[in-house]
Structure 1
């Protein structure tokens, strides 16, 4: 069948690419913005109001510090979809197809281990021991409330079949999550690994790209600062 203009029907639009889940550290982003503001404020003051060698030293220090702050706070991110895991660390971008991932481990740091034995830290998903302890306390509190509600259910029933025991049991779900945020992110990544690790799109090898756009300014600032300090007399 053709259209009135004797043209074949239009082809279907291409299937959109798989969207990434993006994981970043809110505390890292907030701290990075604050540090950038402090460095820019102090550096600009010395740059425009300083005397003698102070402006040059301020310029070199800013060239050194600004890329470092960006690299370790704003830059880290983890991108995951059904095909691969892409880890954007301060100075490297590691792309690992799910078929190459052996395990996702959480200890004092969160990391991915490949079948070749390589380990890569997830800078964007830092472990919060304080968050884990807080989540454990919430889980313990929820368990105590649930136990109290179960024990007092029969004794606390009123005329409508609802008493203080029922309220205690129902309130256990409202005290907060029982898992730290970073641990929930790792659970999401492990779920993707379990579902997609054997799929055909998840095959391939690990690739690593160095972030020269971050490393080069850092090195330039360090070299300039050393030259200024050495030749300062």
Structure 2
């Protein structure tokens, strides 16, 4: 414990007031936490028990400027993100299928996965499957709305109705529909509307067929 506290204290002193991005590899019993400072290109990490309130207190007690906290979707759901948002952090949940993967991956460990999440977040390479703290119109689903977490391989996350890929409730679909409606209304007036119906053609008579006067 003293070694971890010493490493974190040295990391905080080294970065000063620089921005820090946090990646978390979430498991049922433990959290692997990685801190990344892009300005100094420094990374530090540690492992803690899977306690949502305890993790929020640890991050708040570090005394550094944490810009963004991100973790991969899974059977834990959005509860950790809600706890971090309540503590004042900007938190996002990302889909495992949309995290960049290298062709020749090195050894895969929880510490490396957490560090990748922090680095990718600092470089803007991650896309949240649920909105962050700042847009007030879109929020994480509440605990009663969240399905059972007992399903394997995070299927509970894929069955989330408010933020699923399918269905009329998808917030991205609603935003796209609103954008298309605004574009339709802003069309220039120089394009006249098509007539409702074209007039019927009038019959014509050839001059040679006219009766003599």
TM bucket (normalised to shorter chain) is under 0.3
Normalising by structure 1, we get a TM-score of: 0.20
How does the TM-score come out when normalised to structure 2? 0.22
Give the helix-richer structure, 1 or 2.
Answer: 1
The structure showing larger relative contact order (alpha-carbon pairs under 8 Å, at least 6 residues apart) is 1
Larger radius of gyration: 2
